């Protein structure tokens, strides 16, 4: 049979021993219907979007048809969930169809989410509702447009079958693309079993796939640890620079490739507050916005523990290496964050007081209950014309004088900068988005899709978010924070 989607599978993970995964096909669904195909991503992957959108292609995207070359598997992993270790989690509602080499020569996983029960489902139905599927599609593609490392969404398909959560919901399947689906929790799965052979095989696979520069080192597993730390530090800094809150930074949601993965109760802040929590399941605020760097560090410490048998034969020597490497996280993170904040404030040179200047602005945003995204974006206008300060000041619902005092310091600092106002504004607009996936807009799109099968709000939102740094008058309403009666305070996992 011809390959229905022209998928040139080149699978590597399945060459690892069978204790790394379970072989099984997706569970077929009743009446698959294509809701959205990411044609641009399909092209990047070297796939034919017309074939993917064909009836046979949709059958594959729904899990009804297993394409030749696909070797579907559910991956095994463990994880700390809200600080509590669970020795076996795994893909409970996801199946990896296989891997392709994209047009840039990068290996990419293609996975179905919501594709039915697996041996790791732990009593769940293995399905997904249309709301969470479209949420992941929206937010992951927005993150890609914001230049933040992320998994991607290739397609969303409704199943024609209901699923049951708090009530009856329409079912759906997401096709997700990732550099890999290997997590800190994947290493923890084997470490918890004392399976040093599997740990070494997994580490060697990760090095070959993601960090080939480590292969020629005298200490390849140390270099692996260093590189994963650096990528995670950079990633979390990028999250904070756009006001993103992951919501469930469990170790099984921490990608070894350094991509944002598993968009459950995630959200973007409107009014800036470092203690913001959206996740309905994060009752203690463990994964609040400002806690994300420390949690990433904690997750990486757990990763380091799994590498101890590989770092040195002597346990004390291995621990010494891990403890020597782990503190590098803070340096990478601070450098990425402060560098990003400088750019957001229109600073191209470095001065010692820049970090304090940036923090003072964030403090003013908190005191003034000002919108994070709009405040930074409007600073670009103020960089050209001080009269535009009023547009920034108007965002401060309380204590607008806090901005006035800070703006004096900011302008004094700008005097030491070489760029003129127009060039500075252009540089600031290139890093300060005008559009983010505001929670009330996302919820409105999901409600329209789930309750009325109206996908127009979803499509328009995707159009807006595809160019987050480009102000377009026809989409001006998407810039605005929600009115009080539309503010979203809690988001849900959707599992």
Helix, strand, or coil here: 77? Answer: coil
Residues 278/491, Cβ–Cβ less than 8 Å = yes
The closest of 95, 26, 96, 32 to 63, measured between CA atoms, is 26
Task: Report yes or no on 259 lying in a domain.
Answer: yes
Last residue of a domain, one of 337, 356, 376: 337
Look at residue 71 and tell me if it is in a domain.
yes
Shared domain for 22 and 160, answered yes or no, is yes
**Catalytic positions:** 252
Answer whether 31's CB lies under 8 Å from 172's CB.
no
Q: Is there a single domain that holds both residue 34 and residue 172? A: yes
Same domain, yes or no: 169 and 189 = no
- DSSP string spanning 190-250? HHTTT-HHHHHHHHHHHHHHH-GGGTTSSSHHHHHHHHHHHHHHHHHHHHHHTTEE-S---
**Residue 19 DSSP symbol:** G
**Both structure tokens of 2:** 């011809």
Rounded to an integer, what distance in angstroms lies between the CA atom of residue 96 and that of residue 131?
Answer: 21
The token pair that represents 464 in the structure block: 């807006």
> Can you give the pLDDT of all 495 residues of the chain as single tens digits?
345 556 799 999 999 999 999 999 999 999 999 999 999 999 999 999 999 999 999 999 999 999 999 999 999 999 999 999 999 999 999 999 999 999 999 999 999 999 999 999 988 999 999 999 999 999 999 999 999 999 999 999 999 999 998 889 999 999 999 999 999 999 999 999 999 999 999 999 999 999 999 999 999 999 999 999 999 999 999 999 999 999 999 999 999 999 999 998 899 999 999 999 887 777 778 999 999 999 999 999 999 999 999 999 999 999 999 999 999 999 999 999 999 999 999 999 999 999 999 999 999 999 999 999 999 999 999 999 999 999 999 999 888 999 999 999 999 999 999 999 999 999 999 999 999 999 999 999 999 999 999 999 999 999 999 999 999 999 999 999 988 877 766 665 554
Q: Is residue 296 part of a domain?
A: yes
Helices (H), 63-213: 130-145, 184-191, 196-210
Per the domain annotation, does 253 fall within a domain?
A: yes
**205 and 331: one domain?**
yes
Is there a domain that residue 439 lies in? no
Domain count, the chain: 2
Largest CA distance in the chain: 71
Which residue segment(s) compose the domain that 209 sits in? 185-337
* 129: three-class secondary structure by DSSP: strand
- Kindly report the CA angle at 206 between 205 and 209, in degrees rounded to 5? 85
Do 117 and 255 fall into the same domain?
Answer: no
In a domain, 27, yes or no: yes
């Amino acid at each position: 049979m011809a390959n229905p989607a022209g998928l040139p599978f080149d699978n590597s993970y399945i060459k690892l021993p069978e204790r790394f995964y379970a072989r099984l096909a997706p569970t077929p669904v009743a009446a698959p219907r294509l809701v959205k195909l990411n044609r641009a991503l399909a092209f990047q992957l070297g796939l034919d979007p017309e074939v993917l959108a064909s009836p046979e292609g949709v059958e594959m995207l729904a899990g009804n048809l297993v394409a030749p070359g696909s070797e579907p598997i559910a991956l095994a992993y463990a994880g700390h969930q809200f600080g509590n270790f669970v020795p076996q989690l795994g893909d409970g509602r996801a199946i990896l169809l296989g891997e392709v080499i994209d047009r840039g020569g990068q290996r990419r996983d293609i996975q179905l989410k919501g594709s039915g029960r697996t041996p790791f489902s732990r009593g769940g139905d293995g399905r997904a509702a249309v709301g969470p599927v479209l949420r992941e599609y929206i937010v992951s593609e927005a993150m890609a447009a914001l230049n933040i490392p992320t998994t991607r969404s290739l397609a969303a398909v409704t199943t024609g079958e209901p699923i049951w959560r708090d009530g009856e919901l329409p079912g759906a399947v997401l096709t997700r693309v990732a550099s890999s689906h290997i997590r800190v929790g994947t290493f923890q799965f084997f470490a918890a079993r004392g399976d040093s052979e599997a740990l070494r095989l997994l580490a060697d696979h990760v090095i070959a796939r993601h960090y080939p520069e480590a292969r020629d080192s005298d200490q390849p597993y140390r270099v692996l640890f260093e590189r994963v730390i650096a990528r995670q530090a950079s990633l979390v800094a990028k999250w904070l620079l756009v006001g993103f809150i992951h919501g469930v930074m469990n170790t099984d949601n921490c990608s070894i490739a350094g991509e944002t993965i598993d968009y459950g109760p995630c959200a973007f802040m409107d009014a800036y507050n470092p203690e913001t929590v959206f996740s309905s399941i994060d009752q203690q605020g463990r994964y609040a916005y400002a806690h994300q760097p420390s949690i990433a560090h904690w997750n990486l410490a757990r990763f380091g523990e799994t590498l101890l048998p590989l770092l040195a034969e002597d346990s004390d020597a291995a621990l010494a290496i891990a403890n020597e490497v782990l503190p590098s996280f803070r340096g990478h993170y601070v450098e990425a964050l402060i560098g990003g904040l400088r750019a957001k404030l229109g600073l191209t040179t470095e001065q010692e007081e820049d970090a304090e200047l940036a923090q003072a602005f964030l403090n003013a945003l908190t005191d003034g209950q000002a919108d994070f995204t709009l405040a930074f974006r409007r600073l670009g206008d103020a960089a050209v014309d001080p009269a535009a300060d009023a547009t920034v000041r108007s965002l401060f619902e309380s204590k607008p004088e806090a901005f006035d005092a800070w703006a004096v310091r900011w302008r004094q600092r700008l005097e030491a900068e070489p760029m003129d106002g127009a060039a500075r504004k252009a540089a600031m607009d290139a890093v300060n988005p005008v559009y983010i996936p505001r929670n009330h807009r996302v919820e409105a799109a999901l409600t329209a899709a789930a309750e009325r099968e109206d996908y127009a709000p979803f499509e328009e939102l995707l159009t807006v978010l595809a160019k987050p740094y480009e102000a377009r008058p026809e989409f001006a309403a998407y810039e605005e924070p929600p009115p009080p009666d539309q503010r979203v305070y809690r988001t849900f996992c959707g599992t």
